[in-house]
Amino acid sequence: MKKIVLLAAFLISLTINSNAQNDFRFGFQVSPNYTWLTSNDNQINGDGGTVGLKLGMMGEYFFRENYAFIGGIGFAFNQGGTLQHDTGGNFWAKSELSSPELYLLPNGVKLSYAIQYVEIPFGLKMRTQEFGYLRYFAEIPVFTLGILTKAQGDIEGTNVTAEQENIKSDVNPINFSWGLGGGVEYGVNENTSIVAGLFFQQGFIDVTKNKGTKLLEDGSTEEEDSKSNLGSVTFRIGVMF
């Protein structure tokens, strides 16, 4: 975490020193978002999402007047959602859970994930000419590297409940996603703009490590090898300098 903070400080100082050039801008975002989980296993179903928040620094390098490379660094809080497992089992086998009964869960159990990442996005931006004080823009595509910093889980099932279990050991340390979006910039003055937009993001990588097992009808077990991906919609609110 200390290395990440130092990297962020270095990037901020670099962008401030570069801001004198007209082809570079930097800024900050405080963006609420809604996330959810999907699974490729028909016995595991999404059962609701969660409201999260993204905070971070953004940078834009304009290689042409209205075309830019974009990047940044930030934190994504409370990312995840709920998955309902029609078949019970031991799904968080690598984590140190608060009770032994949580290692063998019943059919129909709901597992909720609340994950925190450090995110490093990069991609392309296109924008229109200025109309009065407004410009419209699109970011297509945007790829985001997520580095896991924290993961907690809740359990809700027949005769079993638990909250805020530490499940970091059962969540993949890396997430990688693609996304796109667009919005509007409002020019406050020559050097400052307020930004608002809507963005979609879909993960490539399985969020779960799949080190657990699931129960079969005959009472035996087999490896739980489903793939769960994280999706999100973010309403970006930011300011660029």
pLDDT in tens, the chain (241 residues): 555 444 444 444 444 444 445 689 999 999 999 999 999 999 999 999 999 999 999 999 999 999 999 999 999 999 999 999 999 999 999 999 999 999 999 999 999 999 999 999 999 999 999 999 999 999 999 999 999 999 999 999 999 999 999 999 999 999 999 999 999 999 999 889 999 999 999 999 999 998 999 988 888 899 999 999 999 999 999 999 9
Helix residue ranges, H only, the chain: 2-18
Return the domain boundaries, the chain: 2-240
Contact 30, 56 (CB under 8 A): no
Q: Is the pTM of this model over 0.75?
A: yes
- Distance in angstroms (rounded) separating the CA atoms of residues 206 and 203: 8
